Amino acid sequence: MEQFIFMKMVFRSILAVMVIVNFFLISSIVAMGGNQIAVAAETHSTSISVRLERHYVDGEISEEYITEPIETIEQLMGQYHGWIFVSQNGDEMILKKDVPDLSPLTKANGFFSISNDGQLNLYDGSAEEQPIIQSFFRLDTKKLESGLHDQLRSGIRIGTLDDYREVLSICLPYRQEEM
């Protein structure tokens, strides 16, 4: 029972801190964006362009552009719960969200492979002249098991976040120390 009361007090304390932090965050956003909204009102603009940036685990960033009516920053941010305010420049606002998953590009066509100099890369398609999505670290190919080396040369298909993490964890012990 005492443990429950203690946990309830801790939860209430954390909740109180979050409310205070959100208050100051919203106040900062209003302070930063207040002049921009005033400028938009003077030009009779009733909307603002919003750039939504999604940052994926594999390093990909997708952008979506939308137009939203201007009422207040608080209402706009309320519509985008979980998004982080990045900046506002004129009639454009940038919001960011970290997505704890692979990008649609990697899920559709991602392959881990190794370059000729031992660099572990994630490619958009098999490594044959395809664009690199993300580079990781150089592998010590002399210590690399031949089966793994062959798999990496031909490319290892990545379709899920678990696949991505598994290949990285298998390759990590073969990471070449920087000189």
Tell me the pLDDT tens digit for each residue of 41-91.
444 457 888 999 999 998 899 999 988 887 766 777 788 888 998 988 888
Rounded Cα distance between 36 and 85, Å, is: 14
Rounded Cα distance between 94 and 105, Å, is: 22
Tell me the pLDDT tens digit for each residue of 122-164.
888 876 678 888 888 888 888 888 888 888 888 899 989 999 9
Question: Count of H helices and E strands in the chain?
Answer: 5, 8
Q: What is the pLDDT of residue 154?
A: 85
134: left (phi over 0), alpha (psi -120 to 50) or beta: beta
Rounded Cα distance between 29 and 74, Å, is: 9
Return the number of other C-beta atoms located less than 10 Å from residue 45's C-beta: 14
CB 153 within 8 A of CB 168: no
Is a pLDDT exceeding 80 seen at residue 176?
yes
* pTM of the model as a whole: 0.63
H or E element that contains 48: strand 47-56
